[in-house]
Amino acid sequence: MKTHRKKIPLGTDMIVEAALELIDKSGLEKFSVREVARTLKVFPTAIYWHVSGGRNGLLAEVVARALRDVAPSFGPRDDWEQWIRSVFERYRESLQRHPNVAPLIGAQLVSNAGVNPVLVERVLAALESAGFRGKRLVDTYNTVIAALLGYVTLEMAPAPADDAGGWAQSFEEKIRSLPAAEYPRLVANLDRLANRAFIVRWQSGNQVPLDDGFRMYVDTVVAGLRSLVATRSGRRRT
């Protein structure tokens, strides 16, 4: 699986791909421009000639590469609910292939711009077909994008790099010894929650996927949108 590059002259794509491979293999914590340079057998400064924006610019391109082709095309005969569901699934699959880029997505505007205009256009198309227009279209658009990125970036949040301090173990102990008096419901449902629910887990979603929660989440968002379609009046009570 190791890519052998010889003397083929450097190019932006080559650098971005090397960076992504490196992140996939060792995580963001280990990532550095210099390391990328080393794997390409090039001086660090050569990178700067090819990619603008330095380290952050490179990371933004990495995100864009990892997330390309997430949005299936939307035609006038497609069902918007079904389409939304499929984008959510494909987006999750992309991040499951590259879990270590997850922290980048919410990290910077530059990076979440990596999710490209094609996706924007198609989400708008789907929502328009659902009946949303004008200001309301924009609001539902923001809702969908936030929901799209939300679950998965959180699910894939990485555990400590090498965990020399044994964080995972001591955290598990802390969770398992919470007093039932203070946390009755947490303790009552502990078997179901421990390591399988946000905040009370010690492994990342690429190791312990939270599948059922994701399904419920998608159901919730879609059902919510559907109920808003019914509400034709622009304004709602706060």
Partner DNA sequence: ACCTGAACACCGTTCAAGT
Residues in contact with DNA by CB under 7 A are 9-10, 31-35, 42-46, 48-50, 54-56, 164
CA dihedral sign, ordered 43, 49, 51, 55: positive
| CA neighbor of 188 nearest in space, from 178, 198, 201, 197 | 178
State which of positions 66-105 bind a copy of itself (CB under 8 A): 102-103, 105
Considering the complex, state which of residue 30 and residue 133 has its C-beta at the smaller distance from DNA: 30
62 near a copy of itself, rule: CB under 8 A: no
Measured between alpha carbons, how far is 65 from 121 in angstroms, rounded to an integer?
A: 19
The span of 7-15, 17-25, 36-44, 121-129 binding a copy of itself (CB under 8 A) equals: 121-129
Whose tokens are 């990485």? That residue is 158
Q: Which residue among 3, 6, 117, 162 contacts a copy of itself (CB under 8 A)?
A: 117
Inter-CA distances, 169 with 95, 196, 205, Å: 26, 15, 17
State which of positions 149-168 bind a copy of itself (CB under 8 A): 149-151, 153-155, 157-160, 165, 167
Measured between alpha carbons, how far is 191 from 195 in angstroms, rounded to an integer?
A: 9
- Helix, strand, coil content of the chain in percent (nearest 5): 60, 0, 40
The span of 13-21, 33-41, 43-51, 200-208 binding a copy of itself (CB under 8 A) equals: 200-208
Measured between alpha carbons, how far is 97 from 222 in angstroms, rounded to an integer?
A: 25
162, two tokens: 């090498």
CB 21 within 8 A of CB 35: no
The span of 13-21, 41-49, 92-100, 136-144 binding a copy of itself (CB under 8 A) equals: 136-144
Which of DNA, a copy of itself, none sits in contact with 183, Cβ below 5 to 8 A by type?
a copy of itself
- Give the total residue count for the chain: 238
202 near a copy of itself, rule: CB under 8 A: yes
Closest contact distance (angstroms) between CB of 34 and a copy of itself is 18
139, two tokens: 């609001």
State which of positions 170-199 bind a copy of itself (CB under 8 A): 171, 175, 178, 182-186, 189, 192-193, 196-199
Closest contact distance (angstroms) between CB of 72 and a copy of itself is 16
Which of DNA, a copy of itself, none sits in contact with 48, Cβ below 5 to 8 A by type?
DNA
Which of a copy of itself, DNA, none sits in contact with 74, Cβ below 5 to 8 A by type?
none
Inter-CA distances, 41 with 18, 38, 83, 172, Å: 11, 5, 44, 42
Q: Which residue among 3, 212, 232, 233 contacts a copy of itself (CB under 8 A)?
A: 212
